[in-house]
Amino acid sequence: MPLNRWSQWVPCDALTVVVDPLPMKLPGTVQGQIDQFWAEQKRRQPGLFRGSVLTVTHMDQGSAHHYLYTALTDYAHFLFAQRLNVDDPYYVRVLFAAACVRTSDRSLIVGVMGSDTARPGWIQAIGGSADAQDIMDGLFLPIVSARREAREEIGLDVPYEACAVKGYTVDEAGRIAIAVDMAVMATSQEILRHFRQYVQQPSADPELDDVLAVPLGPEGVDLLNNQPRPVVRYLKTLVSVL
């Protein structure tokens, strides 16, 4: 696994994400602390949503086929766990699918998180927490998740056959972003115009304030390094390797 100064990139020929059939069970005292913490966050940001989150429990990284084992918890637990040490038994090693929308002029479409989210202004890949419809027969389906997020966040319906899992990143806390390559025929400017039209629709409810087109390769890494806004660590890795 090559290590760079942002996060580890793990290419793999095949990836299976197993979801425990039982949601993570927390002690009553811990759950009470999480509930109290969430109530405080909701008072500050009423738009926050307590959706499902996958946390990695262990990994089996074979030479070709990789298995990631996860359990379901929720967004309140995830936010609360950011205050814990990474070796705490109730820390959340979150796993999600990053929808790597790759344009015909070799740019990656990324989002600027909205003011009603837990990370307003942060730049990150299109994507988010696992949804119930992303899990089938005990398996998390990254392509299904990435396609859903691309539809919800930027109004883009990418055909299934244009999507492929390329690998995943792992940061120092064990958090995993599965890179789903989504090749589109449109240029970056066409996608940006499409997003701005999409968010004007009454039915649209995106979590993003804006989208950016980041060139793939060293030029894109430089652009992210010079951003005045915060950038998630894994994003530089994706721009570098895709």
Per-residue pLDDT tens over the stretch 136-156 = 999 999 999 999 999 999 999
**C-beta atoms surrounding 135 within 10 Å:** 19
Domain map (residue ranges) of the chain: 8-241
CB 131 within 8 A of CB 52: yes
pLDDT at 2: 43
| CATH number, domain 8-241, options 3.10.20.600, 3.90.79.10, 3.40.50.720, 3.40.30.10 | 3.90.79.10
Q: What is the mean pLDDT of the chain?
A: 93
Euclidean distance between CA atoms 46 and 62, whole angstroms:
43
Ramachandran bin of 174, using left for φ above 0, alpha for ψ from -120 to 50, beta for the remaining angles = left
pLDDT, position 1: 39
Mean of the pLDDT values across residues 158-186?
Answer: 96
Least confident window among 97-111, 112-126, 215-229: 112-126
**Residue 3 pLDDT more than 70?**
no
**Over pLDDT 70: what percentage of the chain?**
98
Q: Which pTM does this prediction carry? A: 0.93
Do residues 25 and 78 lie in contact, with contact meaning Cβ atoms separated by under 8 Å? no
